[in-house]
């Protein structure tokens, strides 16, 4: 039995653990993949107060070390369901079951896919959602990048550092994201931007990506590029299916109040997994701190 189970090991989850531990509560963090969340794949974090520039992975490593030094327990397990029985939460995973007095859901989001027939088959075989992870494999080659917002802008800048040309293909006729990133992209000579293009087909040959086919959304003209790579950065989707029998979701996201409380007493949510306007590292950390303090207050009243 733990005081608090935190589902997710990203900025929100680890900050929640930090604040709960400093309030003398025992914490178990359940993470299904790797600690750090999306920020761990970011080449640079430049909008976190007091830190002018740091890699996302280094920032996440520092926070992970901080909470483990304070006594946080963690398991690499995939949560399958959460149930509340007599004020005790039962969290079932692919390895077993854990119990706690309160639960904080901070499992973030996952990359949005295009939904093309052979997309999953080509992941790791030319199709990628992480330029930090897979970009170095294409050093010295021309890169094709689908997307138009912050993640795509960051990926374009990263890839432009070791690739001769980055072809950024956007669905609309403008870029979305932080103006500083947009300005950098527009000023980078080897980033070529083409607007109003919709990815329609991933051409496969011998089990590998061989070309991409797109449609001009204005002229309806078909456009084809022969390439062995396609980085897709078109947003993220929540992964809260395991909560569907417990709470009502809003388009997959969790609704909370300002204290990060859900409709179930003792169940809290923090970070990108909940309904919110701004999704940044700093707001995820804020959510995590608030959720932890709310959870501590809840436990102390039991």
Task: Specify the CATH number for the domain of residue 173.
Answer: 3.50.50.60
Domain check: are 125 and 101 in the same one? no
Selection from 236, 273, 277 nearest residue 253 by Cα: 273
In the prediction, which pLDDT does 39 show?
87
In the prediction, which pLDDT does 77 show?
97
Domain check: are 11 and 153 in the same one? no
Domain check: are 95 and 16 in the same one? yes
Token pair listed for 295: 């959870």
Return the residue matching tokens 């802008």.
153
Domain check: are 124 and 227 in the same one? yes
Domain check: are 228 and 241 in the same one? no
In the prediction, which pLDDT does 226 show?
97
Domain check: are 226 and 130 in the same one? yes
**238: which residues sit within 8 A by CB, 6+ positions away?**
109, 249, 251, 252, 253, 254, 272, 273
In the prediction, which pLDDT does 41 show?
77
Domain check: are 226 and 124 in the same one? yes
Q: In the listed set 174, 200, 232, which residue is the last one of a domain according to the structure?
A: 232
Domain check: are 101 and 242 in the same one? yes
In the prediction, which pLDDT does 69 show?
98
Domain with 8, as residue range(s), is 2-111+237-300
In the prediction, which pLDDT does 34 show?
87
Domain check: are 219 and 244 in the same one? no
Q: Are 177 and 153 in contact (CB under 8 A)?
A: yes
pLDDT along the chain (302 residues), means of 10: 97 98 98 89 84 92 97 97 96 97 96 92 91 88 96 94 97 93 96 97 96 96 96 93 94 96 98 91 97 98 94
Q: In the listed set 188, 214, 232, which residue is the last one of a domain according to the structure?
A: 232
| Domain count along the chain | 2
Token pair listed for 32: 């299904």
Domain check: are 138 and 94 in the same one? no
In the prediction, which pLDDT does 113 show?
93
Domain check: are 8 and 92 in the same one? yes
Going from the C-alpha of 231 to that of each of 167, 192, 267, the distances in angstroms are 10, 15, 36
Q: In the listed set 232, 257, 281, which residue is the last one of a domain according to the structure?
A: 232
Domain check: are 138 and 214 in the same one? yes
Helix (H) or strand (E) holding 110: strand 109-111
Expressed in angstroms, the distance from the first to the final Cα of the chain is: 15
Phi/psi zone of residue 278: left (φ > 0), alpha (ψ -120 to 50 degrees), beta?
A: beta
């Amino acid at each position: 039995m733990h005081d608090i189970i935190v589902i997710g090991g990203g900025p929100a989850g680890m900050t929640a653990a930090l604040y709960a531990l400093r309030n003398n509560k025992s914490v178990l963090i359940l993470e299904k993949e790797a600690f750090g969340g999306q920020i761990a794949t970011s080449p640079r974090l430049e909008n976190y107060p007091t830190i002018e520039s740091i890699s996302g992975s280094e920032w996440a490593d520092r926070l992970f070390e901080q909470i483990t030094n304070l006594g946080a327990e963690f398991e690499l397990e995939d949560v399958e369901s959460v149930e509340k029985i007599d004020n005790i939460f039962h969290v079932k995973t692919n390895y077993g079951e854990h119990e706690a007095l309160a639960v904080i859901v901070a499992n973030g989001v996952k990359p949005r896919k295009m939904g093309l027939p052979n997309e999953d088959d080509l992941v790791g075989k030319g199709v990628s959602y992480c330029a930090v992870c897979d970009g170095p494999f294409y050093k010295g080659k021309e890169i094709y990048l689908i997307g138009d917002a912050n993640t795509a802008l960051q990926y374009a800048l990263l890839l432009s550092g070791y690739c001769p040309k980055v072809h950024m293909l956007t669905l609309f006729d403008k870029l979305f994201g932080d103006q500083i990133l947009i300005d950098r992209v527009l000023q980078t000579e080897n980033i070529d931007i083409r607007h109003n293009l919709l990815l329609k087909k991933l051409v496969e040959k011998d089990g590998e990506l061989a070309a991409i086919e797109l449609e001009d959304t204005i002229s309806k003209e078909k456009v084809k590029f022969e390439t062995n790579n396609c980085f897709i950065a078109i947003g993220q989707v929540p992964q809260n299916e395991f909560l569907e029998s417990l709470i009502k979701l809003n388009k997959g996201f969790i609704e909370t109040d300002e204290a990060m409380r859900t409709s179930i007493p003792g169940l809290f949510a923090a970070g990108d997994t909940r309904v919110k306007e701004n999704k940044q590292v700093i707001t995820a950390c804020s959510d995590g701190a608030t959720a932890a303090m709310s959870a501590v207050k809840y436990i102390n009243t039991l």
